[in-house]
Amino acid sequence: MTPLLTADNLVKQYPVRGGMFAEKRILTAVAGIDLELYPGETLGLAGESGCGKSTVARLLTGLTPPTSGSIKYEGRELARMSKSELAQYRKEVQMVFQDPFSSLNPRMRVAEILGEPLEIHRIGDAAGRRDKVAELLTRVGLSPEHMMRFPHEFSGGQRQRIGIARALAVSPRLIIADEPVSALDLSIQAQIINLLQDVKKDLGLSFLFITHDLSVLRHLSDRVAIMYLGRIVETGSRDQVLDRPLHPYTEALLSAIPSIDPGKRTRHVIAKGELPSPVAPPSGCPFHPRCPYAQPVCSEQRPELLEKVPGQRAACHFSEEIFLKETK
C-alpha cells in the first residue's frame, strides 16, 4: 500500500542565544526522523515531554517549515507544491491541538469558529455553512443550540469537541491530534478517545495520534513509533511495541505504567536522570546516559533504526542480546 504521508530524514533546528555576547547554539528539536502513515490507519507517536513530538506535528501540517528533509503527501513533496496544491493539502490534513483553552479564539462564537474553515475553502453558501455547523456539533456530541455561545461558556471537554468539529469541518483525510486529551480529566479523556474512534470508523480517516501516555495508544493505534530526544527509537505494530519492546527506552516507558493485576510479572526498568538538552545531545546513542544496559560502544556509535524482527524496528545495539534472546 502506498503511504498517505511520508517524512524522510526530517530535521528541525532553532538558533538559541544565551545573551548579547554569548555564542549562538543550535537546538535540534527533530533530528532526522522517518515516518510513514498509511490510509485508514492510526499511527501513535509517543515519548516524554520535550522530545519533539509537537514539533513533528507542526512540521507535518505545514505550520512550521523544516530545516532539512522532505514531507510527501501521496508522493508529492510538500515544499514543491503549488499554491493551489498547498491549499488542498491544508484542507485534507487537519490538526487537533493539545490545549482546548488556547486553541479557540475567545472572541469568536462557535458558529464563527466552525464556519471559518468552510469560508476559507469556499465550501457552501451562508445557509449551507450554518447547516454544516449544526451537523458538526451533533457529530461531536454537542447541541446545535450551542453555536451562538463563546468558548468560555464550555467545559474543557466540550471545547475539545469543538476543536475536533473544526478539524472535521472541511472533510479531511488525515487528522494530526497533538495530545488532545492530556489537558482533560480522566473521565473526559475516555469520552474524547471514544469520539475519535467513532469518527475514524464512520469517516474512514487516518490519524497521527501524539501522546506521552502509552495506555492511550493501546486503545487507539494500529502502529506505534517511540520518540526520544528528536529521534525515532522504535517502530512496529501496537502489539509488537507495547507487548515486546526492543528498545530500553520503550521498556522504561512501559515500566512506568501501573498494573492492577497482582499476578502479572514485568521487568521494571527505570531510566536514570533527566532528559538531556537538545542543545547539547549526548554522543552515540542519545539514550545511553540513562540506559541500564549501556556499554562503551553506546557512547561512541549511534545505532541505526533497523528491522530486528519482521515489522518492528529499533535503534539499539543490543536488542538481540537484551530482548530477543528471551523469546528464543
pLDDT in tens, the chain (328 residues): 789 999 999 999 999 877 767 778 899 999 999 999 999 999 999 998 889 999 999 999 999 999 999 999 999 999 999 999 999 999 999 999 988 888 899 999 999 999 999 999 999 898 999 999 999 999 999 999 999 999 999 999 999 999 999 999 999 999 999 999 887 888 888 899 999 999 999 999 999 999 988 888 888 899 999 999 999 999 999 999 999 999 999 999 988 776 656 555 556 677 777 888 888 899 999 999 999 899 999 999 999 999 999 999 999 999 988 887 665 5
Report the alpha-carbon distance of residue 206 to residue 37 in Å, rounded: 8
153 Cα distance to chain centroid: 28
Q: Which fold has domain 5-221?
A: Rossmann fold (3.40.50)
Please say whether the beta carbons of 42 and 244 come within 8 A: no
Q: Which residues make beta-bridge pairs with 46? A: 211, 226
What number of other Cβ atoms are within 10 A of residue 69's Cβ?
Answer: 17
Please say whether the beta carbons of 239 and 39 come within 8 A: no
Q: Look-up: residue for cell 537546538?
A: 27
Looking at residue 29, the DSSP 8-state letter turns out to be E
Report the alpha-carbon distance of residue 109 to residue 101 in Å, rounded: 14
Looking at residue 306, what is its pLDDT? 93
Report the alpha-carbon distance of residue 11 to residue 75 in Å, rounded: 19
Looking at residue 14, what is its pLDDT? 92
Report the alpha-carbon distance of residue 290 to residue 275 in Å, rounded: 8
User: What ranges do the domains of the chain cover?
Assistant: 5-221, 243-328
Looking at residue 23, what is its pLDDT? 78
Grid coordinates representing 44?
A: 501513535
Task: Specify the DSSP element, H or E, that contains 113.
Answer: helix 110-120
